[in-house]
Amino acid sequence: MGILDRFSGMKSDKRLTAAITALGIGGLLLILLSSVLPGKKSEVGNETVQTVSVSAEEYCRETEQRLEGFISQIEGAGRVRVYLTVGTDLRYVYATEDKLSRSDSKTEEEEKYVMIGNGSDKSALIETVQAPAIVGAVVACTGADSPAVQEKIYRTVSAALGLPTSDIFVTKLKGE
């Protein structure tokens, strides 16, 4: 018995045909209902934005702590404290859509932000969030009186943060 034979048998069964039709209509109604009802996407989007805006300050502290932990593992560094200078805050890059229209003698270019949400809850879609730019670093450690240790710290901080060594200062930690 082939597939066509089975399909022919199903067509003659009125109850089966009615059940499949009802399921199809029910599926379409659910799809229609999901587009009409407000979704949770905008709520999740707002929570993400709030979490990100709070974390700008924490980003600097976290980076300092991670760098302190890493530098303290350098032989001879001893106890370490790190202070970072941040040049900018978080930077939001919004999604845009470009529209290019050409006529006989002129070309017009239009750029619009992609908006999400319903009614008065509309907001621009955030494409990416760029971390704050770190522009300088000060490292104080107990082993900084050794030129070899200082050189290792300069190279480590430069590589970790992508800073030139001229924007890094290494000094001896007070009290030891």
Which residues are 64's β-sheet partners? none
| Better-scored residue on pLDDT, 36 or 31 | 31
CATH architecture of the domain 56-89+131-176 equals 2-Layer Sandwich (3.30)
| Better-scored residue on pLDDT, 138 or 31 | 138
Q: What is the mean pLDDT of residues 53-65?
A: 75
Predicted pLDDT at 40? 44
| Better-scored residue on pLDDT, 134 or 176 | 134
Please choose, from the candidates 143, 152, 137, the residue with its C-alpha nearest in 3D space to the C-alpha of residue 173: 143
Q: How many CB atoms lie within 10 A of CB 77?
A: 24
| Better-scored residue on pLDDT, 70 or 125 | 70
Q: What is the SS3 assignment for 104?
A: coil
Q: Is a pLDDT exceeding 50 seen at residue 47?
A: no
Predicted pLDDT at 4? 63
Residue 118: both structure tokens together: 């319903």
| Better-scored residue on pLDDT, 93 or 56 | 93
Return d(Cα 5, Cα 16) in angstroms, integer. 16
